[in-house]
Amino acid sequence: MLDDSTQLVLRPGYRLQWEPRQETWVLLFPEGMVVLSETAHVLLDLCREPISQAALIQKVRSLYPGQDVDGDIREFVQDAYEQQWLQTL
């Protein structure tokens, strides 16, 4: 299980790209592509450089003040890690 001190980064070979025809962000990787929600894009974009889960939560809190986002972020990060979109350092 990942904790708040875990350093996360987008896996090498994976990249975010805007798809104008679909008007959405996608995550491209060697095996395919995933269409991202706006929030998923924000989270993965923040992981282009190494970031701790705690710092990621703090940054997202500042983008969505007054909303309880902690649990949702932890759930997304765990899922993204299991899908191998993110790696730990």
Rounded percentage of the chain residues whose pLDDT exceeds 70: 100
Provide the CATH topology of domain 7-88: Arc Repressor Mutant, subunit A (1.10.10)
Condensed to tens digits (0 to 9), the pLDDT of residues 41-79 reads 999 999 999 999 999 999 999 999 999 999 999 999 999
Confirm if 43 and 76 have CB atoms less than 8 A apart: yes
> What pTM was estimated for this model as a whole?
0.93
**Cα torsion through 35, 42, 30, 13, rounded to 10:** 170
